[in-house]
Structure 1
Amino acid sequence: MGEGKRVIHIGLPELSEDQLVEIGELAQEVVIKHVFDALNKSEVKDIEVTARINRGETLDLEIEVYLEVPVFVRVDVDALIDEAVEKAYAAVEKRLREIAGKD
């Protein structure tokens, strides 16, 4: 069982609600895809991925991952979560650059 949490600071507070939703969904999709690229469906007991946008002085994207695998699955769950979140972070950054480039 592993849990990981990462906060990504987004320096683009002028994003629309639709864009914020899209960024959150993108982060979730990337995390889930990475986990299921590494593991078979039968090797995942439970997975929850939450992406929250926090508006403060900066715009922060918080990605929270909960992953549970059966005892017999030999995998470093925490490392897998870290990799998945790193990938999500990269995908979000790329998307933000694309959005910023449209202005």
Structure 2
Amino acid sequence: MEQRGVIHIGLPELSEEEIIAIGELAQNVIIKHVFSELNRSEVKDIEVTTRINRDDTLNLEIEVYLEVPVFVKVDVEKLIEEALEKAYDAVEKRLREIANEGKD
């Protein structure tokens, strides 16, 4: 099961380090959410890929691949959607913190 989400970020003045940290934050939140719902033995494979494209705005593209054994009764699509939502919220919160730091 693979799900892709794109987050449009309207803060083009982020540093390279901040951009990398935003991608890592999104990945960590997704992995943490998946393993809060499933045991490690219930996950055959998980891949979270983040790409950041710089145009007029920053676009954070997240791909999640999650494979579970047949006997694991879980709605994989719903689980991935929830993880993407949590990642979006975490990224948005962090961006607000960065924006507020810049005002000082």
The one-letter code matched in structure 2 to 1:15 is L
* Offset of residue 57 of structure 1: 1.9
| 1:5 has 2:12 as partner | no
| 1:43 has 2:42 as partner | yes
Unpaired runs of 5+ in structure 1? none
Q: Secondary structure at the match of 2:12?
A: coil
**Matched positions, count:** 102
Instruction: List, as ranges, runs of 4+ consecutive aligned residues in structure 1 with deviation greater than 4 Å.
Output: none
The one-letter code matched in structure 2 to 1:3 is E
| 1:93 has 2:98 as partner | no
**1:79 — aligned with what?**
78
Q: Measure the CA separation in 1 of the matches of 2:57 and 2:14.
A: 12
| 1:60 has 2:62 as partner | no
Q: Secondary structure at the match of 2:88?
A: helix
**1:28 — aligned with what?**
27
* Offset of residue 56 of structure 1: 1.4
Q: Measure the CA separation in 2 of the matches of 1:74 and 1:100.
A: 42
Q: Measure the CA separation in 1 of the matches of 2:36 and 2:4.
A: 20
* Offset of residue 33 of structure 1: 0.1
For residues 74-102 of structure 1, what are the alpha-carbon distances to aligned partners after superposition, in whole Å with 9 as ceiling and x for unaligned? 00000000000000000000000000000
Q: Secondary structure at the match of 2:6?
A: strand
Q: Secondary structure at the match of 1:51?
A: strand
What is the TM-score of this pair, normalised by structure 2?
A: 0.97
